Structure 1
């Protein structure tokens, strides 16, 4: 069963990203929204963790753009309609509140 994990909190404030990465299955995806896109800052521990774990990574493009962050090549930029499509593609959605 595949799960889309949705993170919206900064990876520098708590351990949600680290906990999520431990639970990711081979068919799961990870969507960064809101302040979670700060994990895309090169040279940081969250960026390294995402690069090493290599999940199917999606980034809400609007949130990355609002924070002047570049979306790396191993991530797919999406918009809100694509977010809806993703939620239908996966068996379930888990928001890390």
Structure 2
């Protein structure tokens, strides 16, 4: 069942990202919001891990949180706003928020 995984905790203070990456299915999506967008920082282990996931898994980052933290999203991540987040939540069969 295609699932949208939503992460909001920093990968530097929480293990949610590494746990989530182990469970991602080929048809899943991953949305980084809140402090989870720190996973997109250049030259970090979290970004290296994200770059290893299958190309079939869509990687999204919430624009508001990227901008609030002055982070540049890599090309692999699709930056989206809240309206697109709502559409994604309806597009996937299941939404799993990692808290």
1:16 to 2:25 alignment: no
Partner of 1:37: 37
Q: How far apart are residue 14 of structure 1 and its match? A: 1.6
Q: Distance in 2 between matches of 1:17 and 1:46?
A: 8
TM-score by length of 1: 0.97
The number of aligned residues is 97
Q: String of CA shifts for 1:35-78, please: whole Å, max 9, x gaps.
A: 00000001100000000114310000110010000011011010
| Deviations 1:6-58, CA, capped at 9 Å, x for gaps | 00000000210000000000000000000000000011000000001143100
The match for 1:78 is: 80
Runs of 4+ in structure 1 deviating by more than 3 angstroms, as ranges, are: none
2:90 to 82, 88, 91: 88
Secondary structure at the residue paired with 1:37? Answer: helix
Unaligned runs of 5+ in 2: none
Runs (5+) with no aligned partner, structure 1: none
What is residue 60 of structure 1 aligned with on the other side? 62
